[in-house]
Chains A and B, each alone.
Chain A
Amino acid sequence: MSRQPIDFDEKPPIGIDEELGMFDKPENVKRLLRIFYTSVVLLLVVDIFYHKHAIFAWEGYFGFYAVYGFVACVILVIVAKYVLRPMVMRKEDHYDD
């Protein structure tokens, strides 16, 4: 690190309590979430009308990819949080003797 100049002494361009950014305003976040939920629903609706040409039969089932993506991520998070983390998490100085 010693040779890489880092401008820590630079004054921050704006004060921390000054104007909120675009994504700090709750109404903007709400608006974004609304757009997101709408598009998710739309993507599922498309599945009713469009039959996917696929290699495996189940790929063509209604909502297969949607359900798989959702369930996969829920399982991923649950397993990582409740199974893996208790097994492997240690203090930051675990290896420092």
Chain B
Amino acid sequence: MNTFLLVSWLAVIVVSYQAAVFMLKKLDLL
């Protein structure tokens, strides 16, 4: 469970950045 929690935590950061860039482009804000 420890490993799963830590990997998921890291994934929140990485996926958030990717999703934010995708959304900014979609909205013509980037």
The answer to whether A binds B is: no
